[in-house]
Structure 1
Amino acid sequence: MSTRAKALRSTPTDAEKRLWRLLYTFRTSGYHFRKQSQVGDYFPDFVCHHAHLVIEVDGGQHYADAGLAHDAMRDAFLRSRGYDVLRFSNLDVLTNPDGVFDIVAQSLEGRPASPRHQAMDGKTA
């Protein structure tokens, strides 16, 4: 684990903590999200590698011109690596968790789950 990733994981915002609890429920369907997992030079807030989905939780700095420009470059890089990017504001996560959950669930529909989960499903069927 890189020093940067470790530092980011150790200081989550309240919105990141809340979203982590929401994302944890997707594990039962085989979608394992990681916090601050490196993709290229970037450390997305949350990433599900099997589903190729990145989720970012944005504070106010992301809505300034410099933040918007940086996020556009970052999103373009992530898309070039095959990831889709969902962005939610801190306010969205803290005040509308059900809506955020629904958007994530819709985004995961039809995406591949963990091969380990798929193997377990095959054994129980």
Structure 2
Amino acid sequence: MRPNKPSASIKRAKKLRRELTKPEFMLWQILRQSPGGHKFRKQHPAGPFILDFFCARANLAIEVDGMAHDMGGNPERDAKRDAWLAAYRIDTLRVPAVDVLRDTTEVATSIIATVEDRLTEFGKAPASLRHDATSPSQVDGEE
């Protein structure tokens, strides 16, 4: 079961898609190309929350955390958010923004490895095998 998407969350997500932070923008330049055949969404609404990036097939939220996530009540808020998502079987992978700035490709490679590990764990076929499958229209002789 997927969490509801309140209209306020959808509106906020659309706004945030236009205002990515520098690390989010850098990572999105790689993830938007569907590396390894895996589709990612940016600033995806999930209930009252907006996920920086989301891979639905792997039930994985990817959060790029800057220094603000370590301050004040933010660690507690993040823990509550992660628990709320976990109730919907969505796990959160937290990536320090400084790591994205230092080596975006390495971070993206790590994310893809996590996605592939999760898909293997779930018993889902690799993306490369899904794309090579014959479509029903080809079997029926339709074009």
Q: Determine if the TM-score, normalized by the shorter chain, exceeds 0.5.
A: yes
CA drift of 1:45 comes to 0.3
* Equivalent residue, structure 1, for 2:16: 8
Out of 59, 62, 74, the position equivalent to 2:81 is 74
Aligned CA RMSD, in angstroms, stands at 2.3
SS at 1:81's partner residue?
coil
Q: Residue type of the partner of 2:13?
A: A
SS at 1:44's partner residue?
strand
Does the 8 Å CA contact 2:40/2:53 hold for their aligned counterparts?
yes
1:95 aligns with 2:102: yes
Q: CA 1:28/1:61 → structure 2, altered by over 3 Å: closer, same or farther?
A: closer
**Structure with the higher fraction of residues in helix conformation:** 1
Paired with 1:94 and 1:122, the residues of 2 have a C-alpha distance of 38
Does the 8 Å CA contact 1:56/1:85 hold for their aligned counterparts?
yes
TM superposition score normalised by structure 2: 0.74
Q: CA 1:31/1:19 → structure 2, altered by over 3 Å: closer, same or farther?
A: same
TM superposition score normalised by structure 1: 0.84
- Unaligned segments of structure 2, at least 5 residues: 1-6, 136-143
Per-residue CA deviations over 1:60-117 (Å, capped at 9, x if unaligned) read: 11011311011101111111111121111111101022331232122011414798x8
1:23 aligns with 2:31: yes
SS at 2:63's partner residue?
strand
Q: Which has the higher contact order (CA 8 A, sep 6+)?
A: 1
- Unaligned segments of structure 1, at least 5 residues: none
Query: Identity of counterpart residues, as a percentage?
Result: 36
**Which has more radius of gyration?**
2
- What number of residue pairs does the alignment pair up? 121
Q: Extract structure 1 runs of 4+ deviating beyond 3 A.
A: 112-115
